[in-house]
Structure 1
Amino acid sequence: MPGFRLVHLSDVHVWKYEFNPLRLMNKRAVGMAALLLGRARRFRMERLRQVVERVESLAPDHVLITGDLTTTALAEEFALAFEALRPLLRSPERATVVPGNHDRYTRGSARGRRFERSFGPFLGGETFPWLRFVADRTAVLALDPSRPHLSARGRLPAAQLAAARELWEANRADVDRLVVACHYPIAAPPGLEEELAWKRLENADELTAWLATIGPHLYCCGHVHHAWAFTPPALPDEVCLNAGAPLLLDRRGDDPPGFLEIVLDGGDVAVTHHGWTGARWIERPMARRPGFFARRSPETSIAAPG
């Protein structure tokens, strides 16, 4: 099976000020207050072009964006996000996008399917869950627990989880390398559990129980603005990958903003974080899992390279 280079981006958080009172009679007023109180200074939109150029330089086979492209789900934010990311979105066959909670920020934006209207060609279906093949026997299974809610917590509807089980069973014989795309992490590495707790996926235990049955997979997420690659104790067949927030200021210098480069070579997985120090790009190896996908059951296992 040929090598496959996937770039994982998340939490771009394109923002725009809005002062029209008629558009602030909902949760968006909270978002605007946060922007005025400092969020706008922390998310440096002028750097987005540099991020896109860095991704382009890698010539990825596919780009996966796991939500929060916007900040308050304004139509103008969606338009700005699409225009800024356009070089990465030239072909629906080469890019996949799923929403985050900020893309469903208000009931009106969710009811109006503003995310779908903006990024519909880069989704694998009209409703979640969906599964799309992005390379030979390599698929993305997308979930959407995001919702317009006063808190940042998500919840995966029971019907969506049941449909995901059915979808996987219908396709598993044709999939050797599975990437689950979901904005919400179901676990966080040591030191970040508290940050996830207040904006967690409320029924993460239910999703975890099912993921534990599907065999080796990558779980690409965002939501917590830290890049990571780790295997949750409850999911020994998972590599959980968070791309972080590429435009966020790194004030302490220990968590440079950027994105993940994921190379799949046969059954092997290698993950590199591309981070911006404020002066230059650096590359940090995050995970290397030789033979990771080759652990799938014999009847569907892939051949090792070479």
Structure 2
Amino acid sequence: MRFLHCSDVHITADYFSLPLRKLGWRRWLALAELSVGGRSKAYARAPQTLATIARDADALGADHFILSGDITAYALEPEFQVVRESLGTLAEDPRRCTIIPGNHDVFTPGSHRVGRFARHFGHLLESDLPEHRREGPFPFVRLVGEEAAVVGLLSARVPFVPGLAHGFIGPAQLDGLAALVKDPRLAGRALLVVVHHAPLTHQGRADRYFHGLRDAQALFQLLPGPRYAVLHGHIHQRYHHPATAERPHVFGAGSSTQAGREGYWLIEVKDGQVVGGQKHVPGGALH
């Protein structure tokens, strides 16, 4: 089986054409990152790149498409709309597609309060085993074929102030995940657990305190060995840490639409185990 994993596509609206009063103070601070920091230019072609990646899912025979958060720049309604348009029919079917929110998708209290992510992608948070939900729809489970399942977790929280970009899963979701792992209906299946924040950096270390996944070790304790993989984004680097006896595979998808760094993972599952992955660039070519 094949799973296409991408992340941090950051579809970006034209912020400089919008009235400042509609943006709010949090996005005012982000204007420096968009302009001086070059983020607006880096993601100018993100919609086209994301559409290409979605087509690759069919062309490469992927059984399931996974996007591990930060689908928008700063959680504006038009950004969510463009993500949905770029993915086309792929985003209509939970059997084919899993998307979770990242911290940029809950960037303001208002975007979180009105459920902007759920308005466009809430149907993808449905669960085949809903009794294991503990925090809203999380964790949710998607059974894929006969030998795999995708599990979605929420780590993205509304930041107290911009710049605090850490995440946590929390004891409730971890309790649901623990029950899920023991569920006999998942016996013999590989589990691909999707979370936005990185449990490990590309160097194999914990991320910075105000940027990383606070309860990464608690997550790893529930998922030892090659039956499991944690798929994440947040860090704009693409890497794979193979599983050990104590922890799962870790796949960081990087920023899949960033100019000059475009790409994604094609992850292979065989006989109920995660056996590895290949890096691809949009258009289906190998790195």
TM-score where L is the length of structure 2 = 0.84
Higher mean C-alpha displacement, 101-110 vs 237-246: 237-246
- 1:236 to 1:128, Cα distance in 2 relative to 1, 3 A: same
Q: Give the Cα–Cα distance (whole angstroms) in 1 for the partners of residues 258 and 94 of structure 2.
A: 27
Max Rg structure: 1
**Conserved 8 A contact 1:130-1:164:** no
The 5-angstrom pairing of residues 66-215 of structure 1 reads: 66-125=68-127, 127-149=137-159, 150=161, 151-171=164-184, 173-190=186-203, 193=205, 198-212=210-224
Q: Give the Cα–Cα distance (whole angstroms) in 2 for the partners of residues 174 and 165 of structure 1.
A: 14
Amino acid at match of 2:278: T
Partner of 1:39: 39
Deviations 1:221-247 (A, max 9, x none): 1111111111377x6441111121121
Higher mean C-alpha displacement, 103-112 vs 156-165: 156-165
Aligned mate of 1:12, from 9, 12, 16: 9
Partner of 2:131: none
Is residue 273 from structure 1 mapped to residue 279 from structure 2 by the alignment? Answer: yes
Q: What stretches of structure 1 move > 6 A for 4+ residues in a row?
A: none
Deviations 1:179-229 (A, max 9, x none): 111111111232x758655510123233233334x8730111111111111
Amino acid at match of 1:166: A
Amino acid at match of 1:259: Y
**Conserved 8 A contact 1:137-1:175:** yes
Q: Percent identity?
A: 29
The 5-angstrom pairing of residues 220-299 of structure 1 reads: 220-231=231-242, 236-250=246-260, 256-267=261-272, 269-275=275-281, 282-284=285-287
Deviations 1:136-164 (A, max 9, x none): 14111211010110211112222222222
- 1:274 to 1:87, Cα distance in 2 relative to 1, 3 A: farther
Q: Give the Cα–Cα distance (whole angstroms) in 1 for the partners of residues 150 and 286 of structure 2.
A: 25
Amino acid at match of 1:80: V
Q: Helix, strand or coil for the counterpart of 2:167?
A: coil
Q: Give the Cα–Cα distance (whole angstroms) in 2 for the partners of residues 26 and 80 of structure 1.
A: 23
The answer for unaligned runs of 5 or more in structure 2 is: 128-135
Q: Helix, strand or coil for the counterpart of 1:53?
A: helix
The answer for unaligned runs of 5 or more in structure 1 is: 251-255, 285-306
**Conserved 8 A contact 1:228-1:242:** yes
Higher mean C-alpha displacement, 223-232 vs 27-36: 27-36
- 1:112 to 1:220, Cα distance in 2 relative to 1, 3 A: same
Backbone CA RMSD of aligned residues: 2.5
- 1:223 to 1:206, Cα distance in 2 relative to 1, 3 A: same
- 1:171 to 1:69, Cα distance in 2 relative to 1, 3 A: farther
Deviations 1:12-35 (A, max 9, x none): 110103332333324222233321
**Conserved 8 A contact 1:66-1:97:** yes
Q: Give the Cα–Cα distance (whole angstroms) in 1 for the partners of residues 233 and 202 of structure 2.
A: 13
Amino acid at match of 1:55: A
**Conserved 8 A contact 1:52-1:87:** no
TM-superposed CA distance for 1:71, in Å, is 1.1
TM-superposed CA distance for 1:174, in Å, is 3.5
TM-superposed CA distance for 1:281, in Å, is 6.1
Amino acid at match of 1:262: I
Partner of 1:25: 24
TM-superposed CA distance for 1:91, in Å, is 2.3
Amino acid at match of 2:39: R
**Conserved 8 A contact 2:221-2:246:** no
